[in-house]
Amino acid sequence: MYISVKDVNKKFTQKGKLFTALENVNLEIERGEFICLLGPSGCGKSTLLNAIAGFDPPTSGTVTIDGREVRKPSSRNVTIFQNYGLLPWRSVMRNVELALEARRDISKSRRAEIARKNLELVGLEKFADAGPHQLSGGMQQRVAIARALAADPEIIFMDEPFGALDAITRMKLQDDIRSIQTENRKTIIFVTHDIEEAVYLADRVVVMTPNPGKVKSVIRIELGPSRDRASEDFFRLREKIFQIFCQKQDYQIEYAI
Amino acid sequence: MSDKILRLLARNARAAGYAAASFLILLTVWELAARFGGVSPALLPAPSAAASALAEIASDGTLADHIASSLYRFAVGFSVSVLLAVILGVVFGWYNPLFRLANPVVQLLRPISPIAWMPFIVLMFGIGDMPAIVTIFIAAVFPVFLSAVAGVRSIPEIYLKVARNFGVGPVEIFWKIIFPASFPQIMSGIHLALGSAWVFLVCGEMIGAQSGLGYLIIDARNNLRSDILVADIAVIGLIGFVLDSLIRYAEGRILKRWGLEKE
C-alpha cells in the first residue's frame, strides 16, 4: 500500500485539558487515488492531513508513505492551504519558482521555464509579474496550484483549498483539479466539510466524526471520471453520506455566529 | 479616470489650503506678538527678522555647511544603527532563548536618554562627528531592534509551513522568509526611530560638536542672534518633516506591496 496510516492517535492539551483530536485512525491509500477527508469542524480531518503531510506527527501510531515513515514534510509532497500561502513580497512568477529553489539539479533558466509552463497550465501566464495581492482569491489559489505542480510532487495535500472562494469559482477550480488529477495521476488527499464537493471529486470519501475525531466510514464513489452534479447517482451518494452524519448525533453541532 | 484625478486634485488642494492657513495663522500671531507684545526683539524675534536671518546664513553658505554635517552624521549613525538592530532583531526574534536572555537588559537600557551617556561619549570619542553619530545610534537602535523582534514573532505560520514544505534551508530561510515577512513591521519601527533620532541629533550636536544644526543653536545663542536661532529651528523642523515624509512614502509602498494597506 502506498500510504498507510496505522493506529494513529493525536492528543493536544488545550487550556489545561487533554483533547483527543484523532482516535485509532487506520487508513490505506493507493497511488493515484483521490481521497476526500470529509467531516464537520473538530473531527480531526486537518489534523490527520497534517500528520500524513509530516507537519505535525501523531502522538502514537505510524504514517508511512512508500514504506518510509513520515516524520517531517517532504518537497516530494506539496500542501495547498485554504489561505493560499503565497509570499506577498514575491511576484506570481517568483512564487511559483519557490517550489524549485531548493533543487540543486535544476538550473535557473530551467526553473523559470517550468514555472512559466505551470502558470500557463492554470491560465495565469499574463500575471507572471503581478503581486499576489493584485489577484482575486480564485486566481491566488490557482497560483498556489501552479506552484504545487511545478514541484512535480507525488502527493498533493489540500486543506480546504476552496473554502474561501465563491461558489462559481469553487466549481471551476474543482473541475480544474479533477482534470489535473486525471491527466497526471497524482495522489490527492483533500480536506473538506462540503459533502457535494467530496462526492464530486473523490474516488473514496473518508467520513469523519468529532469528539473524539475518528473515521466513521469510507465510501467508494463509483461515478467514473466525468461527473454530473445533477444526476440521480450523484444525489443518491450525497444522500447516503448525509445519512451517515445523521445516524447518531452524539455531539453538539457548532454554530458559527 | 479623469473624474478620479479631479477628485484627487480637489482633495489635495483642500489639504494644501488647510496647511497654508495653519502657517498663516502661526506667522500672523507671532508677528503681532513680536511687534506689539512689548518684548525685546532679542527674546522674541519677529518672523520677518527670522526670514532675513535665514536669507543671511543661506547666502553666505554657513547654513549649507551645517546642514551637510548634520545630514552626514545622521546618515552614518542612523544607517549603522538600523543595519545592526535589524540583523540582531531578526536573529534574536527567531531564537527565542536568545531574546529572553537579551530582553531584560534591553528593557533597562531603552528608557535611558541617549544624552545621559554624553559625558562618556565625549570622553571616549572626543568632540566632532562621533558624539552625534553615537547619540543617533543609541536613539534608533532600541525601537528598531524591538520592532524586528516583534515582526519575526508575528510571522504568519503559513509562510513557515510553505518554507518547510519546499525545503528552504535553515540559513536561507532568514532572507527568503523571515526578513521579508517581518519587513512591514521593521519598517514601522524604522519610521518611529527616525523621528527620535533626528531629535537627538540636535541634542548631540549641541554638546559635542563644532558644526551642524544643533551646534548652530549654541553658536547663535552665544552671539545673541536669536533671529538666526529661530531660523535654524525652522530648518531643523523642515528637514525632520521631509525625512519623515520620505520614510512614510517608503512604508506606504511596502504595505501596498505586502497587501497590508489600510483604508
From chain A, the residues in CB contact with B155 under 8 A are none
Mean per-residue pLDDT pooled into runs of 10, chain A (257 residues): 92 85 93 93 91 93 93 91 92 95 91 94 93 92 94 94 90 90 90 93 93 89 83 90 74 57
Q: What are phi and psi of A85, to 5 degrees?
A: 65, 30
Distance (Å) from the alpha carbon of B2 to chain A's nearest alpha carbon: 22
From chain A, the residues in CB contact with B177 under 8 A are 87
The answer to whether the CB atoms of B164 and A132 lie below 8 A apart is no
**A184 and A69 within one domain:** yes
**A172 and A224 within one domain:** yes
Cell triple for B20: 497654508
From chain A, the residues in CB contact with B180 under 8 A are 87, 89
Count of C-beta atoms within a 10 Å radius of residue A158: 25
Distance (Å) from the alpha carbon of A111 to chain B's nearest alpha carbon: 14
The answer to whether the CB atoms of B257 and A72 lie below 8 A apart is no
**A213 and A257 within one domain:** yes
**A56 and A94 within one domain:** no
The domain locations on chain B are 1-38, 41-257
pLDDT below 50 — which residues of chain B? 263
A140 falls within a domain: yes
Decide: A223 and A233 in contact? Cβ < 8 Å: yes
| Amino acid of residue A244 | I
Distance (Å) from the alpha carbon of B240 to chain A's nearest alpha carbon: 29
**A131 and A101 within one domain:** yes
**A251 and A195 within one domain:** yes
**A172 and A235 within one domain:** yes
CA A251, CA B82: separation in Å to the nearest integer? Answer: 55
Domain end, chosen from A98, A118, A152, is at A152
Distance of alpha carbon B169 from the chain centroid:
36
CA A191, CA A199: separation in Å to the nearest integer? Answer: 12
From chain B, the residues in CB contact with A74 under 8 A are 167
The answer to whether the CB atoms of B161 and A81 lie below 8 A apart is yes
**A141 and A21 within one domain:** no
pLDDT of residue B263: 42
A40 falls within a domain: yes
Name the interface residues of B facing A (CB cutoff 8 Å): 158-159, 161-162, 164-169, 176-177, 180-181, 183, 257-259
The answer to whether the CB atoms of A79 and B159 lie below 8 A apart is no
Domain range holding A33?
Answer: 1-76+154-257
From chain A, the residues in CB contact with B257 under 8 A are 88-89, 131, 133
**A256 and A169 within one domain:** yes
Residue A250 belongs to a domain with what CATH number?
Answer: 3.40.50.300
**A221 and A209 within one domain:** yes
**A223 and A178 within one domain:** yes
> Does the global pTM surpass 0.80?
yes
Q: Which CATH superfamily is domain B41-257 in?
A: MetI-like (1.10.3720.10)
**A177 and A58 within one domain:** yes
Across the interface, which of A78, A81, A88 has its CB nearest the CB of B259? Answer: A88
A81 falls within a domain: no
Distance (Å) from the alpha carbon of A81 to chain B's nearest alpha carbon: 8
Distance (Å) from the alpha carbon of A256 to chain B's nearest alpha carbon: 23
Distance (Å) from the alpha carbon of A90 to chain B's nearest alpha carbon: 9
Closest residue, chain A, to B162 (C-alpha): A85
Domain total of chain A: 2
Beta strands A60-65; A3-14: pairing state: antiparallel
Distance (Å) from the alpha carbon of B175 to chain A's nearest alpha carbon: 12
DSSP string, chain A: --EEEEEEEEEEEETTEEEEEEEEEEEEE-TT-EEEEE--TTSSHHHHHHHHHTSS--SEEEEEETTEE--S--TTEEEE-TT----TTS-HHHHHHGGGTT-TTS-HHHHHHHHHHHHHHTT-GGGTTS-GGGS-HHHHHHHHHHHHHHT--SEEEEESTTTTS-HHHHHHHHHHHHHHHHHH--EEEEEES-HHHHHHH-SEEEEEETTTTEEEEEEE----SS--TTSHHHHHHHHHHHHHHHH---SPPPP--
Optimal mutation site among A74, A95, A98, A157, interface B, most CBs of chain B within 10 A: A98
Optimal mutation site among B159, B166, B175, interface A, most CBs of chain A within 10 A: B166
The answer to whether the CB atoms of A151 and B161 lie below 8 A apart is no
Closest residue, chain B, to A75 (C-alpha): B166
CA A22, CA B230: separation in Å to the nearest integer? Answer: 73
CA B117, CA B135: separation in Å to the nearest integer? Answer: 8
Across the interface, which of A55, A99, A133 has its CB nearest the CB of B166? Answer: A99
Closest residue, chain A, to B184 (C-alpha): A89
Optimal mutation site among A46, A87, A100, A154, interface B, most CBs of chain B within 10 A: A87
The answer to whether the CB atoms of A101 and B169 lie below 8 A apart is no
